[in-house]
Amino acid sequence: MNLKEKISEFPNFPKKGILFRDFSPLLKDPSALSFIADEFTKHFHPKDIDLFAGIESRGFLLACILATRYNKGMVMIRKAGKLPGKTSKLSYKIEYGQDTIEIQKDIISKGQKILICDDLLATGGTAKASAKLIEKVGGKVAGFAFIIELTELNGIKGINQYNCKSLVKY
């Protein structure tokens, strides 16, 4: 299946000069969802993963799809202030400032292997911060799963020490 044919493009969104690659059309296509899960199962072995972590918010969808396929659980990496209970936070630099992500402190047991999921890898700042956050709470990063990778932004550079898989590259 050619996923590129199903990914929508929106020029000048969210601002002028940006070409937004939208994976939303894949979500309404059960055969595309199944294909995505199949492709990642070819790359990541179930014994190498204990949990899937989705990066807010589109990563939640991929993490849930894969967690169901692998019969594993899923946890959320969210923007600061969105999770109840005790959380662990990590601030990191973004293109024009700083952002903060968090995870519930007790959601991952020490040594659990976590596959981090997101819809798209761009500059890699959030992905890299997510790996640091998982490690901060005692997890081991099993790798990254992305549907789309924007290769010209070289986001893979910050996470290339991990096992990374992107299904569509632009």
Provide the annotated active-site residues: 58, 95
Q: In the chain, what is the straight-line distance between the N-terminal and C-terminal CA atoms, in Å?
A: 16
Output the six-digit token pair for 20: 């937004």
The whole-angstrom separation of Cα 158 and Cα 81 is 26
Residue identified by tokens 């789309």 is: 148
Output the six-digit token pair for 30: 């059960």
What is the DSSP secondary structure assignment for residue 38, as one 8-state letter? Answer: H
